[in-house]
A = this chain, B = another copy of it.
């Protein structure tokens, strides 16, 4: 069985060599490239592009372990560039940063996993294998924040709760861009009633225009 081909991007020589040693000792893994900066890594890895995203070039690694804090270009920008050209390449960040900003920017840029540097060698190898098989390994602190981010999304607006069912129904159509007369036709009521409802909605939400109302609705979604 072919070993999993790994590339490292890490500026600290001690850490890089330590990772290389771990990979060299582990059966089934091979460190095929190691870079100490993002510019070299991007330039070199893009030399072996997958013709149309359906596979990786011959010399390409299967998995990239990318530091975030690097001299010059950041690891996050490197991920963005690499993923744009080689979407099948599996990349995991490996860094000391565990704040939401770094985590979410990295994932938005296209990173497939996010590990903390204090990850044990066994967990690191397990993560690389997981990546290779299409998983998204995360240190448990990271998973926790990612999961927590789903709960924060819904910030219930108390103003919205004061709307009646009919008002919510009309606000929903309003948000979709329906004209007053279209709402009236949809609900089989007169346009005057639509105006009255919308007037009441605006009063409850403390807004004057449709756009302000929409911003209140979208903000918590």
Contact = CB atoms under 8 A, between A and B. Distances in A.
A75 interface: no
Contact of A211 (B111, B134, B137, B177): B177
A211 B175 CA distance: 7
B147 A107 contact: yes
A151 B110 contact: yes
A55 B69 CA distance: 38
A196 interface: no
This protein's copies in its complex: 2
Contacts of A218: 218
A209 interface: yes
Contacts of A153: 108
Given A175-B211, A214-B214, A143 B150 contact: no
29 contacts: A107-B150, A108-B151, A108-B153, A108-B154, A110-B151, A111-B147, A112-B144, A113-B147, A130-B140, A134-B140, A134-B144, A135-B140, A135-B141, A136-B140, A136-B144, A137-B140, A137-B143, A138-B143, A174-B211, A175-B215, A176-B211, A176-B215, A177-B211, A177-B212, A179-B209, A210-B210, A210-B211, A211-B211, A218-B218
